[in-house]
Amino acid sequence: MPARNRRLRLTAAPLPGPLLVPSVSSKGFPITDTGMTESGEALELVSPDINEALLVSAYDLHHKMLPDADRLLTPEYRNTVYASPRLLVVDSGGYELNPVGFESGETQRGPYQPKEFVREDFEAIVDRLPHDRELLVVSYDSPELPRASYRDQRETAQQFFAARRHLRSDFLLKPQAGDRILNIEELTPDARNLSFFDVIGVTEKELGNSLLDRLVTIGRLRQLLDANGCAEIPIHVFGSLDPILTTLYFMAGAEIFDGLSWLRYAYIDGLSVHPDQLAAIRGNLDDRQERRDMYRYMSNLKEIQSLKHRLARWANQPDRYEELGPRYEILREIYETMLAELAQKG
């Protein structure tokens, strides 16, 4: 079985897996009169309820689009919204730098033009992060970078993290030149060298052209890591914090998931639905928009924790598919199809 329930050694006291990480970003969200992104204002409202992990972008910290961006880079971070999560994940800004690529399920909200942000800016932010904070930093990525071989990608990321041993490392794998999706066969010769990193990251859309292809790629990547001395390294799927997709990618072998869906949708009955549907179902018809949003954010964070526990229980008893929630029959069918396809791939 690809899925596993274990503690993740990303902090001094390992975190119970799987790790479901709420993200905040300036991309796809309005910028308020304060110059801060709307998702940052949401974070200010609910930060005490984000206790395990949070993902922010070095791009947004550099451009001060998140609350307390400057204070995070000083010892005063203990008095900011970033103090509550045990682990702070700092993404490199590749998502924000891409003018066209949005998360799965999210349509582009009008023209989007990123601001300038280069590797030197990323490194400057990382080097200012507090050394006494539990940090997982993602290797640098930009849509303007020429696609390198897996070996060259790995060597570049390894050099970056070797000079910063105080950080936990999340190596974001990108397709090689000429490819749109990850190629497991081409990655295989360098697989043993991935043991240098704490986490191996992949973006959902680069896993395959269909959901089944993406699940099989995760399963094959998990098998490759296990067979090459990297069994302890978890897989991180970027942009997949959704009740259905998180469950499926966990069943395929991934253990860390982040995304912005908790800000955009409402989680209920094992699905992501339009926010107004939650208001109707919960009877919040007379509430003002601000109150409804606050309730939805908090409700979604509770659903994320509930999902985490369901996945852990299922991994302990994989015959009990009902642990996966109300959509378990569909999830089981997809999982069994994935396993059959994975067996054929060998």
Domain ranges of the chain: 7-345
- Location of structure tokens 């094959």: 220
| Separation of first and last alpha carbons in the chain | 14
Q: Report d(CA 321, CA 20) in Å as an integer.
A: 20
Residue 122 token pair:
């990323």
Q: How many residues does the chain have?
A: 346
> pLDDT digit of tens for each residue in the chain (346 aa)?
788 899 999 999 999 999 999 999 988 888 888 878 889 989 998 999 999 999 999 999 999 999 999 999 998 999 999 999 999 999 998 888 886 665 555 555 556 688 999 999 999 999 999 999 999 999 999 887 888 999 999 999 999 999 999 999 999 999 998 899 999 999 999 999 999 999 999 999 999 999 999 999 999 999 999 999 999 999 999 999 999 999 999 999 999 999 999 999 999 989 898 887 877 777 666 667 777 788 889 999 999 999 999 999 999 999 999 999 999 999 999 999 999 999 987 6
Please give the angle made by the CA atoms of 234, 237 and 238, to the nearest 5 degrees.
Answer: 130
Top CATH class, 7-345? alpha beta
The span from the CA of 319 to the CA of 317, in Å, is 6
Residue 228 contacts residue 262 (beta carbons within 8 Å): no
- CA angle 99/105/107 to nearest 5° reads 45
CA distance 293 to 269: 18
Separation of alpha carbons 130 and 173, rounded Å: 26
SS3 13: coil
